[in-house]
Structure formats: C-alpha cells, structure tokens
Structure 1
Amino acid sequence: MYSISLQQNQYKTYILTDDSTNSQLEVVPERGGIITKWRVNGEEIFYLDEERFTNPELSVRGGNPILFPICGNLPENTYTVAAKQYNLKQHGFARDLPWIPLGSLQEQGVSLQVTLNSTETTKAVYPFDFQVTFTYRLEGNSLTVSQHYLNKSAKSMPFSFGFHPYFNVKDKTKLKFEIPAQEYFDHKTQEIKPFSGNFDYNQEEIDVAFKKISGKSATVTDSQRQLQLTLDYDDVFSTLVFWTLKGKDFYCLEPWSAPRNSINTAEKLTILEPGASYATSIKLTAKFI
C-alpha cells in the first residue's frame, strides 16, 4: 500500500510511504526541493546533518541536494555569458531556493512532483528563464528522480546538473566500489590516479572525479551494514564524483552531467535552444544482502 502525508515541522515535509517494504521518502520542497531521508526496511539510507539542516543560512549537508545550473565550483565563482561576467557559488542555487510542490501520484509507487522557476533573483546570477521539474518516485526499495529542464528564454541556455547524495556509513573501510572507470582525477592534488576499487580513508578529505566512465551503473557494497546500493543513470551523466571527510559518517557518490567549470569550458555542457526541453532520470536501489 502506498501513501503520502504532510507533516509540519520546521518546514513542510512530505512523507511518501511504501508499506510493502517499510520504505519512506521525506521531501522538503521549501528547503531546496531536497529529499532529506530515505528509509528501506526501516533503515536510514541517507545521512543528514540535522543541525545544518535547521539553519537556513547554511547549505544542507545530507539527503540528496540538487545541483543546478552548475556542478562543483568555478574559478573565483565567475563565468561569462555574452561578454558579461556573472557570479555563481558552488553547485549553483537550486539547492538553496524554495521549490513548489505540484502534486502526487500513487500509481506504480508513490511520487511527488516539485518545480523551480526562474525569478529576478536567479536571473541576476544566471540570465535565463527556466523551469525545472522533478518527480520523486518511491517504489519498493528503489528511488527514482525523473527530471525535466525547460528553457523559457529567447536565447540558448547552457547548464549542467546533478545530485549530491549523502549515504550513511559507520566504517568506510568496509565499503567496496564497483565503478565503471579505471582512473579518477584527484581534485586535491590535481593528479590523475588509477582506481582499484577503494580509497585511502586516512586523508582528511577525498574529492575525486571519475570522468571516463564506461557504463551507466555503479554499485557500493557496505559489508558492515550488509547493504548494497546501486546508482543507475542515463548517458548524459558523464561524471561521477566521490567525496567524503575524515571522521564523518557519510560518503557521497554524485552523478553529474558535466565536470567542474563546464559553463566556462563547455566540456560536456548541456545547451538548450529557446523553448526546448530535456528529460532524464537517475535511480537508486538499496538491497540488504
């Protein structure tokens, strides 16, 4: 049985439930359209820093933050369009703005639709009219995020997009990665390094990008939790980023449509013509083994 309910906490929280697998999603549209929690068999799959979440001055560290209209950071937070310079902070503004809930469905799972429209505030840093609509769908032990990007401008609109999911983990040394790549770019050292299936967690921070990926699925197995997570993504997601901090009970495996600074370099950049739209999706599946 599927259901959806609304709970008034600090923010209005939509709770999507699939009773057949004791699974739930919690979505907070007004706090960046974010999924804050995802439970399967009653187990928390996502990590959430509750203290940061309750402070609207801080970016959310946890759940599944949205990256748009850029992924990563820009040199000096600047980029140029039509010979004019603009400023965009890391990962763009979508994760910080209120999204509008549009409605829900309870067929083939339970879903909630949320949308973000351009405003004068967004156009001051990103000079385009747009509409971004997501459909979050929970079905059994899977979470699907369907995305629709619409250019409402009279000019071509360049952008990149992605997600920054935070996954719960207690012992990172118990993780095993199956990523369709043989090397990654280390953002800290600016070096390309071979990948053999895991990382050195003695580092204070790990921030790497897999740019040469040969498949559309990645899997992480946590032997301590006996949990296998699979991330499936469309071809447009050209980059997978792994990020974690020493001493923190999370790791991030992030699907990006383009690497850092693509709005300046045009590498893997998505460009929509006036009136055009683009649709894609990602899917996360949690399996206890």
Structure 2
Amino acid sequence: MPKFQDQDVIEIVRGGSLLRVAPQAGGRLLSWHRHGEPIIHWPDDADWRQPALVRGGNPLLFPFIARHRVDGVIGRWRDAQGVVREVPLHGFARDLPFAAQVDAAGDGVRMTLTDSEATHAGYPFPFRFEAAYRLVDDATLEVELTTTNTAIEGAALLPSQLPSLLPYYAGHHFYFALPHAQRGSASLTLPSNVYRHQLADGTTTAPTPGATRYRFDDPQIVDRFHCLDGEPERTVRIEMPTLRRAIDIDLRCPGSVPWYAVTSWTLAPDSDFYCVEPWLGLPDAIHSGLGLRRLAPGQSETATLRLVVSDLA
C-alpha cells in the first residue's frame, strides 16, 4: 500500500483526481485533490495517535450523529427498554478499523464495518455499515453509505444483542478546503429549508424558515442544521470565487434514502476549512425522533450523494 504521513493508505486516481483513504482509521477519506489543488482538506501536521480527532477529511458518523445526552451527560442514550448506554460523540465508526476492497476498475473503494463484542455494550445490534467512494470522472465523487440490520428474523441473538429494530442516523463530516481569509467571498446556496440548532441542554430548537444563500463568514451558520423540506431540487452549492471553484453536493441520487439536513460548521475564525455535512438525522434523534431511522431484521438501505467540482470563470 502507498504511504502517506507514514501511514498505509489506499490511493484512487482518475484523470486529474486523487483520493486518499485510510480504512484502518475509521474508514476515513483523508483528502481529495484535483489537479493538485485540495478539495477536501487534510492537515500537514495530522496527529495520527488520535486520527478520529483530526480536523480534516470526511469522518464517517455512525450509528449516531453529533451529541446525544441522558441527564445532561454527552455520549449517553436510553434504549427502548430504558437502559442507558454509551456511544461516543458522532458514534464509534470513526474510531474503528474497516475492511476494504478496491473496485476491479480501480476507480473506487468499498469499506465495511460490522458489529462485534466491542460495539455491543453501547449499541447492542447486529449490523453492517459500508462506505463506498467512487470517482465517476476526475470532477465527480460518488459516495454511498449503506446500513444493514444483519439479524435474521426468528434467529437467536447473542445475550448482548437486543431483539428490536436497529436504530441509526448516519452522516458525513466533509472538511472542504477554504482559506479563512476568503470566507467573505465564498457562499453556500441551499434548497428551501428550515433551520434548527441544538441548545446546551441537548434539546433542539423549533424550526425557523431559513435563507437559501449565506456567506461563509456569517457567524450565524456555525453549527446550524439546515433541514430540507423534500422539494425536487436538492442540490447544495458551494462557490469559492477567489479559488475559481464551485462544488455541488447532489442529494437527489436515484435509490437513495432522503437526506434530512445539511449542517454547516467550522472550528474557529482562522480555520482553513469549512464543513458542509449531509446528515440523515439530527443530533439526539435517538430521543427526539428527528430523522431517526429503524431497520427490520434483514433490511438494508443506502444514502447516496455526489460531489461535483466545476471551475468558475
């Protein structure tokens, strides 16, 4: 395998595009470069002792997104039987190694995480979670997240597993490269939406009609959930005129389950990235139900999107 920052990685090349992926580090897409320019940000000084905490790439969020709480304690959730369990912020997938298989054509990779005794304590369900990245061409990256309840109807479960529907709400955490000094000229365009955010006690605000265009230097959009209303046009557009680049996030792919929201977030005013994150549900959906999905034994579903890069004049 190729080496990157002294780590084994998978490299996918098509035309002028280069993807780097680290299956052993949470199935992480590390970076996407097109003609040598970064589309997905990855830091030069990444701390590989805790790769899940590196600010870059695309951490995979599963089984739950962001913050969930019980009695004010982040990382706890209450199951259908009333038992309080622990699943870390953004879920455990980003901390665990995935198995990986490069496509026969060499233009993509599929990575797989399955349940184990290590996952049953916090999430007592049999599952398979797959992430697939494929370069359709040198400007288009297709991404699939497939979740399967691998329980067999009527079959015996392990003592550590629950006999119920598998609850989940997965998502992405794309770190798009954007120099902080250029935020004022860059914009985020959304479909019709309502926005929410999470309060300090873990509850989610009521929906408020949202705008369809924001600048990235607007402090109001940090950690804002832009909830989509299901209209046919479901493309999110990022424009970076100073970089002469636009990125369309196409959420209308055939066969995909619906994306619930797109979240905008960055770490600090001087961070050279901005995250635009398609999610299947909202934080704490396991308790609020806002986007919570449930799979019956044997059921599988896929959430698909495409990132399409274009040049601005």
TM over 0.5: yes
Q: Kindly indicate whether residue 94 of structure 2 is the aligned counterpart of residue 95 of structure 1.
A: yes
Higher strand share: 1
* Structure 2 residue aligned with 1:242: 264
Q: How does 1:90-129 map to 2 (within 5 A)?
A: 90-106=89-105, 110-129=107-126
* Structure 2 residue aligned with 1:160: 169
Give the Cα separation in 1 of the matches to 2:225 and 2:57: 20
The superposition leaves residues 178-233 of structure 1 with CA deviations (integer Å, 9 ceiling, x where unpaired) of 10135422446958474252147374982101114444210011011010001012
One-letter code of the match for 1:28?
A: A
Q: Kindly indicate whether residue 237 of structure 2 is the aligned counterpart of residue 219 of structure 1.
A: yes
Match among 7, 19, 23 for residue 25 of structure 1: 19
Q: Kindly indicate whether residue 294 of structure 2 is the aligned counterpart of residue 271 of structure 1.
A: yes
Match among 184, 198, 203 for residue 173 of structure 1: 184
Q: How does 1:34-73 map to 2 (within 5 A)?
A: 34-56=28-50, 59-73=53-67
Give the Cα separation in 2 of the matches to 1:216 and 1:203: 24
Change (3 A) 1:57 1:7: closer
Counterpart secondary structure, 2:184? helix
One-letter code of the match for 1:201?
A: D
Counterpart secondary structure, 1:121? helix
RMSD: 2.2
Counterpart secondary structure, 1:67? coil
Instruction: Calculate the TM-score normalised by the size of structure 1.
Output: 0.89
Give the Cα separation in 1 of the matches to 2:303 and 2:239: 26
Change (3 A) 1:236 1:7: same
Give the Cα separation in 2 of the matches to 1:231 and 1:151: 28
Counterpart secondary structure, 1:70? coil
Give the Cα separation in 1 of the matches to 2:300 and 2:294: 10
Give the Cα separation in 2 of the matches to 1:86 and 1:179: 36
Give the Cα separation in 2 of the matches to 1:16 and 1:116: 20
* Structure 2 residue aligned with 1:256: 279
Which has the larger displacement, 203-212 or 145-154?
203-212
Q: CA deviation at 1:87?
A: 1.3
* Structure 2 residue aligned with 1:230: 248
Report how many residues are paired.
Answer: 280
Q: What runs of 5+ residues in structure 1 fail to find an aligned partner? A: 1-5
Q: Contact between 2:59 and 2:174, CA under 8 Å: does it hold in 1?
A: yes
Give the Cα separation in 1 of the matches to 2:234 and 2:147: 21
Give the Cα separation in 2 of the matches to 1:57 and 1:235: 29
Give the Cα separation in 2 of the matches to 1:239 and 1:142: 22
Q: CA deviation at 1:114?
A: 0.9
Counterpart secondary structure, 1:72? coil
Q: Contact between 1:181 and 1:210, CA under 8 Å: does it hold in 2?
A: no
Match among 203, 206, 231 for residue 222 of structure 2: 206
Q: Contact between 2:67 and 2:90, CA under 8 Å: does it hold in 1?
A: yes
Q: How does 1:7-22 map to 2 (within 5 A)?
A: 7-9=2-4, 10-19=6-15, 22=16
One-letter code of the match for 2:269?
A: K
Q: CA deviation at 1:235?
A: 4.8
The share of aligned pairs that are identical, in percent, is 24
One-letter code of the match for 2:242?
A: Q
One-letter code of the match for 1:140?
A: D
Give the Cα separation in 2 of the matches to 1:207 and 1:243: 5
Give the Cα separation in 1 of the matches to 2:49 and 2:124: 28
Counterpart secondary structure, 1:86? strand
